Amino acid sequence: MTQIDNSEPFSPRAERDHNVEAEIIARASTGIEKLPMLEVIFARLTTTLASAFKSRLGTISEVSFAGMEYIPWGLALGRLDPFTLCCLTKIAPWQATTVLSFEPKVFFALFDSQISAGPGPQSIPARQPSSIERRIAKRFSQVVLDEISAEFGRLAEIGFTAENIETPQQAATVQNFQALCAVAHIRVKIGEAEGNMSFIMPKDSLHPIKSQLSRMFLAEPSESDGQWRDDLTRRVTSSYVEIQAVLHRMPMQIADILSWQPGTVLELGRGIGDEITITCSGRRIFHAVAGHHNNRIAVRLGEDCVATPNSQNQMEPLQKGWGEGR
């Protein structure tokens, strides 16, 4: 099995090392049970995140979802730029750890937008962030995590909270290097600066909501669903349909039918008290018994053919179609 070189996990990679990384990804991804709802969540996030950057940070940005991949924790952290800012996050209520990472050019574009009129040409410092920059990075992280929490909240009551800002080397030590992770890549453009944010989630950290993330939801509840259902119910229940009381069905020769004349009497072999069938649009809906009610021929409903929970046994006068013989 190909081993990850942990001695220099953060050095620039030559093409040969890139090929080794691709092989590790391919092997790690074989037979992995993917979580399709994660792609839905992070695709939605791109719209809400751009709005949050504008409303909460005053920053105009373009945000796009760059895809999901499933790779080991050590590889996910090990291939980051050594000056990437990694925010360790906790998932409430079960306190699992994940990482939200900002490429330096994304962070400093956000940083410049807060201390000047807007992001200008970037001169990315090749150093670890200062204490002030770490505090600001934590604030930026929480803005992103609030939006992630809102998207996950459609499936379960969970929240993501920013803890500490670490380097990739430091963040790599909080999990087993071989722990399989789902990694969401988000592309952010602010002014002339463009780079990646990544949300690195060990699959074990998502175990309590694995069932929700494993199946695809084609729709979601909304505040208008109740009103929509009520309106549909009113429209359906106020509509009119034609029902038929079928007294009897019997086979007949075509020659006999052709011999019918006005006044011909058909013996149906049915009488008062015999069972008949109530149909609607050709489908049986009730068994019934023929009888009289207020000097009119009527039927008493019996067994419900479609298991309607609110059916009642009662006498219902038939307005038309009560004597249709077939």
Decide if 34 contacts 137 (C-beta within 8 A): no
Distances (CA, A) of 215 to 21, 29, 33, 34, 210: 30, 19, 11, 10, 9
Residue at a domain's end among 225, 255, 278: 225
**Do 252 and 183 reside in the same domain of the chain?**
no
The whole-number pLDDT of residue 234 equals 79
> 3 lies in a domain?
no
Would you mind telling me the total number of residues written for the chain in this entry? 326
Kindly indicate the confidence band of residue 176, based on its pLDDT and cuts at 50, 70 and 90.
very high
- For residue 2, is pLDDT > 70? no
Q: How many CB atoms lie within 10 A of CB 256?
A: 10
User: In 3-state terms, what secondary structure has residue 53?
Assistant: helix
The answer to the question of residue 262 being in a domain is yes
Q: Do residues 185 and 284 both lie within one domain?
A: no
pLDDT at 282 exceeding the cut of 50: yes
The CATH number of residue 87's host domain is 3.40.1550.10
The mean pLDDT of the chain is 81
Same domain, 209 and 246: no
- Read off the pLDDT of residues 180-235 as tens digits, 9 standing for 90 and up: 999 999 999 998 899 999 999 999 999 999 999 988 764 555 444 556 677 778 77
Of 190, 225, 260, at which residue does a domain stop?
A: 225
Per the structure, the count of domains in the chain is 2
The backbone torsions φ and ψ at residue 284, rounded to the nearest 5 degrees and listed phi first, read -70, 130
For residue 239, the model assigns a pLDDT of 82
Asked whether residue 273 is domain-assigned, the answer is yes
For residues 192 and 61, membership in a common domain is answered with yes
283 shares a domain with 139: no
SS3 assignment for 271-285? CCCCEEEEEECCEEE
Per the listing, tokens 């067994």 go with: 303
- Are residues 35 and 111 part of one domain? yes
- Which of 225, 251, 269 corresponds to the end of one domain? 225
Does 152 share its domain with 282? no
For range 112-141, the mean pLDDT: 80
pLDDT for res 272: 79
Tell me what the mean pLDDT of segment 67-77 comes to. Answer: 95
My answer on whether 60 and 152 are in the same domain is yes
pLDDT score of 16 more than 80: no
**Is the pLDDT confidence value at 307 over 70?**
no
Check residue 320 and give its pLDDT. Answer: 37
CATH number, residue 294: 2.30.330.10
Query: 285 with 168, same domain?
Result: no
With respect to residue 236, please indicate whether it lies within any of the assigned structural domains. no
Residues spanned by the domain of 110: 15-225
Residues 77, 84 contacting (CB under 8 angstroms): no
Let me know how many helices (H) and strands (E) the chain has, helices first. Answer: 9, 12
Shared-domain flag, residues 205 and 104: yes
Confidence of residue 308 (pLDDT cuts 50, 70, 90): very low
Residues 218 and 266 reside in one and the same domain = no
Supply the pLDDT for residue 287: 84
Q: How confident is the model at residue 31 (pLDDT cuts 50, 70, 90)?
A: low
Q: What is the pLDDT of residue 58?
A: 86
Distance of alpha carbon 221 from its chain centroid, rounded? 10
What pLDDT is attached to residue 203? 93
- Between residues 246 and 144, the one the model is more confident about: 144
Count CB neighbours of 93 within 10 A: 10
pLDDT over 50 at 313, yes or no: no
- In this structure, of 60-69, 104-113, 164-173, the range with the lowest mean pLDDT score is 104-113
What share of the chain in percent tops pLDDT 90? 45
Q: Is residue 9 part of a domain?
A: no
In this structure, the answer to whether residues 214 and 127 fall within a common structural domain is: yes
Does residue 51 lie in a domain region? yes
